[in-house]
A = this chain, B = another copy of it.
Amino acid sequence: MGVNYPKGQAYFKNETTYSKKQDLATIKKGKFANRGMVFEEAINQSNQYFLDRQIAVIHKKPTPVQIVKVDYPNRSAAVIKEAYFTQPSTTDYNGVYQGYYIDFEAKATKNKTSFPLNNFHEHQIEHMRSCVKQQGICFVLVWFSSLKRCFFLEASLLLELWDNQEKLKRKSIPLTIFESSTYEINLGIAPQIPYLEAVDKYILKLKEHING
Contacts and interface: CB of A to CB of B under 8 A. Distances in A.
Interface in A32-68: 51, 54, 56-57, 59, 61-68
Instruction: Give the size category of A's interface with B.
Output: 35 or more
B27 A78 contact: yes
A54 B126 CA distance: 11
Interface stretch (A4-12, A154-162, A168-176): A4-12
A202 interface: no
A100 interface: yes
A85 interface: yes
Given A28-B3, A79-B82, A94-B94, A65 B135 contact: no
24 contacts: A5-B86, A5-B87, A8-B66, A8-B82, A8-B84, A11-B68, A16-B89, A23-B67, A24-B78, A27-B78, A28-B75, A54-B133, A61-B61, A62-B65, A65-B65, A65-B83, A77-B84, A78-B84, A83-B83, A95-B101, A96-B101, A96-B135, A98-B135, A99-B135
A211 interface: no
A51 B85 contact: no
A105 B34 CA distance: 35
A16 B89 CA distance: 10
Contacts of A95: 94, 101
Contact of A131 (B57, B87, B89, B136): B57
Contact of A65 (B15, B77, B89, B134): B15
Report, nearest first, the 9 A-B pairs whose CB atoms are least far apart.
Answer: A99-B135, A62-B64, A96-B101, A80-B83, A96-B136, A101-B101, A27-B78, A96-B134, A8-B68
Contacts of A51: 130
Given A12-B67, A97-B134, A98-B134, 17 more contacts: A3-B85, A8-B66, A8-B82, A8-B84, A16-B89, A27-B70, A56-B134, A62-B63, A62-B64, A62-B88, A78-B84, A79-B83, A80-B85, A83-B83, A94-B95, A99-B100, A100-B101
